[in-house]
Amino acid sequence: MEKEVNSLLTDYTDKLEAVKIRAALATVLSISQQGNLFLQSNNLDKKLASNNPLKCAAVIGLAVNLIHLLASLLSPFMPETADSINAQLRAEALPIPDHWDPNSIKPGHEIGKAALLFSILKLEKAPEWRGLFGGQEAQKVKGEGAARKSAKKAAKGVKVRVESN
């Protein structure tokens, strides 16, 4: 995993330096995905903890260090979220590194209490947020909806005459 993360980290810094903000953020998500794949491939569960506690500790240690890295990579985009992650880890913010070495959080480090990073979004608020934050895409969707309504109204008012020979 370390090799893949470092390759993606290089990609992230290149994109960030080129001011390709969305692409850089997509790369952060790819790094996160590498962490998820790592956890899944190592079957992190109670069974691993009881049958192989050393491996379990190594998997958790690597995952916690990756989370610490992700907090630093997210900080330009979501500083409050990055601060919350670091607070939960009880760790100082990392500068964005050129190379990731998973040892920023040492064995035996005590992490803090888990907390939600994001609030739950209610579906009924979607139209309001779309109007506030949707930008051009929201206007396009709104315009398409109005065009469909107009077309339906026009279709109802038009009579089609079929002639027979």
| Residue 164 pLDDT | 54
Lowest mean pLDDT among 53-57, 66-70, 131-135, 136-140: 136-140
| Residue 129 pLDDT | 81
Where residue 19 falls (left for φ over 0; alpha for ψ -120 to 50; beta otherwise) is left
**Closest CA relative to residue 111, chosen from 45, 40, 60:** 60
Distance CA 134, CA 136 (A): 7
Distance CA 81, CA 131 (A): 24
Distance CA 25, CA 8 (A): 11
Mean model confidence pLDDT for the chain: 88
Q: Which CATH superfamily is domain 2-89 in?
A: Isoleucyl-tRNA Synthetase; Domain 1 (1.10.730.10)
| Residue 135 pLDDT | 67
